[in-house]
Amino acid sequence: MEEPTTEGEMAKSEADLSETPESAATPEDMIANAMSAAPAPIAAEATILGYPEEGRGNWPEEPAPELVELRAGTNGWTCIVDIPDTPGNDPMCLNETYLEVFMSSLTLTDAPSTGIGFGYMLQGGGPVGSPPHIMVFAPESNDSIGAFGTEPGPMPWIMFPETSQQHLMVLLPPPAEAVAAEEDKIANAMSAAPAPIAAEATILGYPEEGRGNWPEEPAPELVELRAGTNGWTCIVDIPDTPGNDPMCLNETYLEVFMSSLTLTDAPSTGIGFGYMLQGGGPVGSPPHMMVFVPESNESLVAFGTEPGPFPWIMFAETPSQHLMVLAR
């Protein structure tokens, strides 16, 4: 079977695929649909699974039938075709831990109690019709998950709360157009995050001396350019780095970032998210998210420290260690 590898083949639209019943779709169509859920470097070598003719059968009254392998993969990720008995287009691509979570839901068993799971749904969908997002499963951090709400919306929220499959739904849209900090500092900072988050975020910038003599000594205090109301903080491009690297951080990740500037320890609890949808950072990463889960640090070692398309550890074995997760 010839596998779709070009961007055009991978980007078959929802209309292309939703107009054809899954039972009549070709294997190539189903593979392209599944691959559209994740960034291309991840989807390219992922295993592809589809549903049998009976779909999910009588699930959730009884376990769903076994999924069908459409293509073997080599990178430890699994992309799954659009669920046939839901109204929207909802393919997904899952790492090994999140695949266990998803399969536990189909088999009506408990999800794992350790590990860190990521699931991409860049076409959106799911039981509440969410926009493009990533699912984050970190059961060892469940004591901190209660800081998030259960109401679907633009902020990270808990799906399936108080079950073994509970996880955070995190918005992951395409990046906004880049704006140079020299042109408009506030627009530059806001370009780091999804628009609904950036719209009401506090905006911080650097003083004239930038980061001063950091990291030999603590950096000067950042300057507030705009007060916000939603608990998020967007920070203008770092002036003494070569690339464009604005960021938007939730309250926990703001503590992590500020601890790096003040040369103090990061918090040891909480769940932190940082958007850098323009890319950048010390290794010039493409658009990504930063995920800080210190209570799950024992599971962090399953990830490598080499920058690349798969989630990897930055600042390994320090209080600020976190996972870098490709956004697109």
Residues 64-98 have pLDDT tens digits of 999 999 999 999 999 999 999 888 899 999 999 99
Task: Report yes or no: 69 and 111 within 8 Å, Cβ to Cβ.
Answer: no
pLDDT tens, residue by residue, 202-254: 999 999 999 999 999 999 999 999 999 999 999 999 998 888 999 999 999 99
* b/e map 66-83, b = 16+ CB within 10 Å: ebeebbebeeebbbbbbb
How much of the chain exceeds pLDDT 90, in percent? 83
What pLDDT is attached to residue 24? 61
Q: Which residues contact 229 (CB under 8 A, 6 or more apart)?
A: 200
Tokens (6 digits) for 146: 């209660």
pLDDT, tens only, 106-146: 999 999 999 999 999 999 987 777 899 999 999 999 999 98
Structure tokens at 260: 């790096």
To the question of pTM greater than 0.75 for the whole model, the response is yes
Question: What count of other Cβ atoms lies within 10 Å of the Cβ of residue 7?
Answer: 8
pLDDT for 23 equals 52
Indicate whether 255 pLDDT > 70. Answer: yes
Using DSSP's 3-state secondary structure scheme, residue 241 falls into coil
Q: What are the residue ranges spanned by the domains of the chain?
A: 7-171, 185-326
- Conformation bin of residue 57: beta by default, left when phi > 0, alpha when psi is -120 to 50: left
